[in-house]
Amino acid sequence: MNKAFLMGRLTRDPELRYTQAGVAVCTFTLAVDRRMAKDKTDFLEIVAWRKTAEFCGQYFTKGSRVVVIGPIQTRTWEDDNGQKRKKTEIIAEEVHFADSKRQANDDTDYGLAYEGFTEVDDDDELPF
């Protein structure tokens, strides 16, 4: 099975382009902290195609925390000088925002947002 689940921050705005055939392709770099070594970060190249590419190009920006799910792919080619080149990328099959709405709007760190939970201002609002 070849499927990576990554959460990190974009190091720059995504680059959205179109192939000669009109297919959308978006590339960006994701900075992913290592789980056991908090002081180490990996910078991973992400490639999204078609609708996913257009979504990334329209809504993701530098600094956005996102989740990317997809296979790891290595491609090889020969450059203009005849040198063999190799690149490893993650092909984004699924992308999701990982910031809460509040974080995305004002860049304030309020911790993780948990889907399905709402913020309570007063204990009287609790059902127990």
Pairing of strands 41-49, 15-18: unpaired
Computed over its alpha carbons, how large is the radius of gyration of the chain?
A: 18
pLDDT bracket for residue 112 (50, 70, 90) = very low
Instruction: CATH number of the domain at 51, please.
Output: 2.40.50.140
Rounded to whole angstroms, how far apart are CA atoms 31 and 38? Answer: 12
Q: Tokens standing for 3? A: 């499927």
Q: What is the arithmetic mean of pLDDT over 114-118?
A: 49
- DSSP class of residue 80 equals T
Pairing of strands 65-70, 72-78: unpaired
Range among 11-15, 96-100, 102-106, 121-125 with highest mean pLDDT value: 11-15
Per the structure, the complete domain to which residue 71 belongs is given by 4-125
Q: Work out the percent of the chain whose per-residue pLDDT is above 90.
A: 69
Nearest to 52 by CA among 12, 21, 16, 99: 16
Average pLDDT, the chain: 84
Question: Residue 100 above 80 pLDDT?
Answer: no
Rounded to whole angstroms, how far apart are CA atoms 39 and 97? Answer: 23
**Into how many domains does the chain fold?**
1
Question: Residue 95 above 90 pLDDT?
Answer: yes
Question: Residue 20 above 70 pLDDT?
Answer: yes
